[in-house]
């Protein structure tokens, strides 16, 4: 954490940009939305190439079973394709919209299984988070490592639970036995930090 803060911000931004440039065809968010609404194959390919990793990660966090997670990703992506006309850019960013579709798909699938996503053993989750982080550590360059670890673990798990797994603040408070007020303030602080680092 301390190390990262001393990193020059410009350097971080540059690296973030380079990391995101995974696809050949480039769209701005506005262009992408227009092309998606026109049902252009290239736009959907870009969407998939760009976001499927993040969506799959989120689905896996809730379902744990990669095969079922792949099914949910498929259903979610088809749902995005079918419902793109109903996406309203006025209401928020495209990613927030597609993430909601994927997250809800994962939560529904978990419910069908008869297991509330919130009933996961928390130690298991913490261990999984550790594992995620260490996997990321082993593969990523030092700059990425800094970005991933920029959140303190106790805040990171809150963001992951709320954002990736769709827990409400009350559920997190119950699960982690932390007062609701603390959950709210930690999430808020974590988001402030994220906003600061990504300077969007």
Partner 1 sequence: MNIQAYIESGILEEYVLGTVSSQEKQEVECMSHIYPEIKEELLRTEGALEQYALKHQTLPPASLKDAIFAQMNFDEAAEEPESAETDAVETVSALQYDSDNTVKKLPVEIVKEEEQPLIPPGIRSGEQPEAVVIYPAWAKFAVAASIIFAALFGWSAMKVSNVERENRQYAADIDLLKSDMDGLRKNAEHNQTLASLYRNPNYKVVRMAGLEKSPQSAVVAMWDTKTNDILLDVQNLPAAPEGKQYQLWTIVDGKPVDMGVLDGDFDSKILKMKQAQSGAVAFAITLEKTGGNPSPTMEEMYVMGKV
Residue 200 lies near partner 1 (rule: CB under 8 A): yes
> 34: buried, middle or exposed (CB in 10 Å: 19+, 13-18, 0-12)?
middle
Cβ closer to partner 1: 8 or 114? 8
Provide the token pair at 55: 């969506």
Of 32, 62, 63, 77, which one interacts with partner 1 (CB under 8 A)? 77
Measured in whole angstroms, the distance separating CA 55 from the mean position of its chain's CA atoms is 7
Residue 116 lies near partner 1 (rule: CB under 8 A): no
Residue 113 lies near partner 1 (rule: CB under 8 A): no
Of 130, 168, 179, 180, which one interacts with partner 1 (CB under 8 A)? 168
152-187 burial string, b = 16+ CB within 10 Å, else e?
Answer: eeebbbbbbbbbbbbbeeebbbebbeeeeeebeebb
> 116: buried, middle or exposed (CB in 10 Å: 19+, 13-18, 0-12)?
exposed
Residue 99 lies near partner 1 (rule: CB under 8 A): yes
Residue 31 lies near partner 1 (rule: CB under 8 A): no
Q: Give the contacts of 183 (CB within 8 A, at least 6 positions apart).
A: 158, 169, 172, 173, 176
DSSP H or E stretch at residue 25:
none
Cβ closer to partner 1: 117 or 166? 166
CA 152 → CA 37, 148, 188, 193, distances in Å? 39, 10, 13, 10
Task: Draw the binding track, 120-159, toward partner 1 (x: CB under 8 A; -: no contact).
Answer: ------------x---x-------x--xx----------x
Residue 66 lies near partner 1 (rule: CB under 8 A): yes
For partner 1, the binding residues (CB under 8 A) are 16, 19-20, 38-41, 44-45, 48, 51-54, 56-58, 60, 66, 69-70, 73-74, 77-78, 81, 88, 90-93, 95-96, 99-100, 103, 132, 136, 144, 147-148, 159, 162-164, 166-169, 184-185, 187-188, 191, 194-195, 197-198, 200
């Amino acid at each position: 954490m301390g190390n990262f803060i001393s990193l020059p911000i410009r350097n971080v931004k540059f690296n973030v940009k380079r990391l995101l440039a995974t696809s050949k065809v480039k769209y701005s968010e506005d262009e992408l939305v227009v092309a998606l609404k026109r049902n252009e194959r290239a736009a959907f390919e870009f969407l998939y190439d760009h976001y499927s990793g993040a969506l799959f990660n989120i689905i896996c966090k809730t379902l744990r079973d990669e095969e079922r997670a792949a099914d949910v990703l498929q259903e979610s992506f088809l749902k995005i394709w079918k419902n793109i006309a109903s996406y309203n850019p006025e209401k928020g960013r495209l990613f927030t919209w597609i993430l909601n579709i994927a997250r809800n798909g994962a939560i529904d699938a978990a419910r069908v299984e008869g297991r509330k996503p919130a009933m996961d053993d928390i130690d298991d989750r913490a261990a999984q988070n550790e594992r995620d982080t260490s996997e990321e550590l082993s593969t990523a360059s030092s700059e990425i490592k800094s970005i991933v670890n920029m959140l303190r673990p106790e805040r990171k798990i809150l963001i992951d639970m709320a954002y990736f797994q769709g827990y409400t603040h009350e559920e997190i408070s119950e699960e982690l036995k932390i007062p609701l007020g603390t959950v709210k303030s930690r999430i808020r602080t974590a988001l402030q930090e994220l906003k600061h680092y990504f300077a969007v």
